[in-house]
Amino acid sequence: MHGGNMYLIVVYDISNDRIRLKVANKLKYLGLTRVQRSAFVGRGGLALAKDVVRASGRLIDRETDSVIVFITPDKSIKQALIVGTPLGDLRNVSVRVL
């Protein structure tokens, strides 16, 4: 994964509303943009991914919940296709909305 900027894609499945809100707020605080109800995207690499994992790991119930962090090159993000209206402002994320 060399060259270009890296992005994180964070998706989660959290059953408790209060905990889910805390995780979402933490992801926003870390600079990620909400693109779906349970999905965030933002610039960052391994260091930010570890921050996301540490922060969410303190909040979630590891027996019933999950948080998945993908680290991907910006080329993959730029090739994403979107149908419909995303929840977040994607001006900082170059994607094509169909």
Task: Please name the helix (run of DSSP H) or strand (run of DSSP E) that holds residue 13, with its range, or none.
Answer: strand 6-13
Write down the pLDDT at residue 80. Answer: 79
| CB 93, CB 44: distance < 8 Å | no
Residue labelled with tokens 């996301």: 52
* Domain that residue 61 falls in: 6-97
Domain total of the chain: 1
Write down the pLDDT at residue 31. Answer: 94
State the average pLDDT over residues 66-80: 89
Looking at this protein, which amino acid is placed at residue 81? L
Is residue 1 domain-resident?
Answer: no
Q: What is the distance between the alpha carbons of residues 58 and 69, in angstroms, rounded to a whole number?
A: 15
Is residue 39 domain-resident?
Answer: yes
| CB 55, CB 24: distance < 8 Å | no
- Which CATH number goes with the domain that contains 93? 3.30.70.240
Quote the pTM value: 0.85
Is residue 46 domain-resident?
Answer: yes
- Residue 97: is its pLDDT beyond 70? no
pLDDT, tens digit, 9 for 90 and up, residues 21-61: 999 999 999 999 998 999 999 999 999 999 999 999 999 99
